[in-house]
Amino acid sequence: MNLNSDDIEIEEVLYRYFRKELSAREVTDVEAWVEVSPENQRVFDEAQLMFLDMKGLSYYKNLDIQDVDLSWEKFKKENNVRSIQEAPSSSFNLLRYAASIVLVIGAAIGIYYYQNRVEEITIASAEEVRELTLPDGSSISLNENASIKYREPFQNNERRVLLNGEAYFEVAKIEKRPFVVEVGDAEVRVLGTKFYIDRPETTSLSVQVEEGRVLISYNDLHQIVETGQTLTLDMEEDSLIETEDETGITSFWKTRRLVFRVTSIEDVVNIVNEAYGTSIQLQGSTEGCALTVTFDDESLENVLEIISSTLNYELVEDGASYILKGNDCQ
């Protein structure tokens, strides 16, 4: 090989050397050039490192490293690498072009790494509700002590997230790129909709759809949940049961709204205890006592005052808990 040939493709010289595609004479020419000076040796060593980096990078972009021409052409095409076909006239020129090989390959590898890096992101809500927006425009509200995990960018033509705890999703609609929420061994798959996921226990999962529809999948179970429906998955029994949430307790952490329609005082107290994380006890006879009221972003103190005054109950505060003393409502 004449290293001063006008038609030599400079960016491939060292690449083909490391690929062992040169003839014995061409290998001798390259090695003779390397021995000309320490600078040539340094360029050679750096180019070799770049080649090894690119070879490792081929895994991520499915470059066929066994097919030299195909892999090199694909590498150049996908990274806008232009061939350099100027004629070197001396060892100095070869050094200059060899250095350019290092720069071109290094820049291309940098582009590959930047464009194809995958970052695993975890976001937790700790002791407060947290709002976040994903790269696809979908918004998520995480209830207290919940967390979400996803890869950026999303992989495999789907938008997959891993949920631990309760969350409200408002998913941006993107055709042919489903949004998948992975909750343990169960999946909730959508294209674009608004829904709640509640996982009170590791063996159960509740999905309430506010808008659109979702598909719940668990083992061989697959069920579509429509707007206004709430479906509960029992993972121990492998069953899906449609439930009702007339009071709004499932979404209370997000809406701060509770609705009671002729609801027994026992049920009212149980739901308020769950919603506010408090301890309210009933004393006395409560037979026939029911409540019809809507609590919209009310404080616990206001809720208790409304209940006691509406039913003519006595409210007693006992440290961190409360007692409602009442009589029959017949």
pLDDT tens per residue, the chain (330 residues)?
Answer: 544 443 345 446 777 888 888 888 888 888 887 787 777 777 777 777 776 656 555 444 444 444 444 555 555 565 554 443 333 444 445 555 555 555 555 555 555 555 557 789 999 998 899 999 999 999 999 999 999 999 988 888 899 999 999 999 999 998 889 999 999 899 999 977 999 998 877 788 999 999 999 999 999 899 999 999 999 999 988 899 988 888 999 899 999 999 999 999 999 999 999 999 999 999 988 888 999 999 999 999 999 999 999 998 999 988 888 999 987 775
Which of 74, 99, 116 finishes a domain?
116
Are residue 43 and residue 87 in the same domain, yes or no? yes
Q: What angle do CA 316, 320, 323 make, to 5 degrees?
A: 25
Helices 10-18 & 68-79, crossing angle to 10 degrees?
Answer: 130
Are residue 146 and residue 81 in the same domain, yes or no? no
Q: For residue 124, what is the enclosing H or E element?
A: strand 119-124
| Inside any domain, residue 170 | yes
Are residue 228 and residue 123 in the same domain, yes or no? yes
Q: Which residues pair with 164 in a beta bridge?
A: 147
| Domain that residue 208 falls in | 119-243
* Residue 123, token pair as written in the block: 């976001």
Which of 243, 273, 288 finishes a domain?
243
Are residue 237 and residue 303 in the same domain, yes or no? no
One-letter identity of residue 80: N
| Inside any domain, residue 316 | yes
Residues 6 or more apart from 22 whose CB is under 8 A from it? 1, 16, 30
Class of residue 265 by CB neighbours under 10 A (exposed 0-12, middle 13-18, buried 19+):
buried
| Inside any domain, residue 28 | yes
* Residue 45, token pair as written in the block: 């060593």
Cα separation, 80 vs 71, in Å, equals 14
| Inside any domain, residue 249 | no
Tell me the CATH number at 293: 3.55.50.30
| Inside any domain, residue 132 | yes
Are residue 20 and residue 96 in the same domain, yes or no? yes
Are residue 102 and residue 184 in the same domain, yes or no? no
* Residue 129, token pair as written in the block: 């509700």
Q: What angle do CA 47, 118, 215 make, to 5 degrees?
A: 150
Number of folded domains that form the chain:
3
Which of 66, 99, 116 finishes a domain?
116
The runs of H, that is alpha helices, within the chain are 10-18, 24-34, 38-61, 68-79, 91-116, 252-255, 265-276, 300-311
The pTM for the full model equals 0.60
Pairing of strands 221-225, 230-234: unpaired
Q: End-to-end CA distance of the chain, in Å?
A: 107
pLDDT for res 77: 60
Cα separation, 215 vs 195, in Å, equals 11
| Inside any domain, residue 1 | no
Are residue 43 and residue 93 in the same domain, yes or no? yes
pLDDT for res 247: 92
Are residue 310 and residue 228 in the same domain, yes or no? no
